[in-house]
Amino acid sequence: MKEQLKIRFKNFALSVIKLCETLPRRNSTFTISNQIISSATSMGANYRAALRGRSTAEFLSKLGIVEEESDETLYWLELIVESGLANSEQVDPLWKECNELLAIVVSTINTTRKNQKTSKS
């Protein structure tokens, strides 16, 4: 599962990069493209860092960053559609995948916290 998620995060980031390459060249596009590429690539990088965490606290901290970056990526996807830079058909698959990855990360955080409390009891 961990290896599959690493691949999903990387493929998601690559898909975001490809989307940005298709956007019209405008001043606003450069800012949005830079921001979404940064947040989308950070998701996978921090997930990998979480897997190398030396403690549960470090693992949870890195997953918290993944959660934040995922939410930020969703924001930029919304702006891309609502500003007319891309249509929803182009963005919807990315939106869906980002939401799925976010749900997995949130579930992992919650399960880890629950297990951490249970082991302390």
Question: Is 73 within 8 Å of 49 (Cβ atoms)?
Answer: no
Domain ranges of the chain: 2-120
Residue pLDDT, tens place only, 33-79: 999 999 999 999 999 999 999 999 999 999 999 999 999 999 999 99
CATH number belonging to domain 2-120: 1.20.1440.60
Residue pLDDT, tens place only, 27-46: 889 999 999 999 999 999 99
Q: What is the dihedral sign for C-alpha 75, 78, 80, 83?
A: negative
**Lowest-confidence region among 13-27, 72-86, 107-121:** 107-121
CB atoms within 10 A of CB 35: 15
Residue pLDDT, tens place only, 97-118: 999 999 999 999 999 999 988 8
Task: Indicate whether 9 pLDDT > 90.
Answer: yes
Instruction: Dig out the tokens for 112 from the structure.
Output: 């880890």
Task: Indicate whether 22 pLDDT > 90.
Answer: yes
Q: Which of 14, 112, 13, 119 is nearest to 63 (CA)?
A: 112
The overall average pLDDT reported for the chain is: 96
Does pTM top 0.85 for this prediction? yes
Q: pLDDT grade, residue 119 (50/70/90)?
A: confident
Instruction: Dig out the tokens for 121 from the structure.
Output: 């009891």
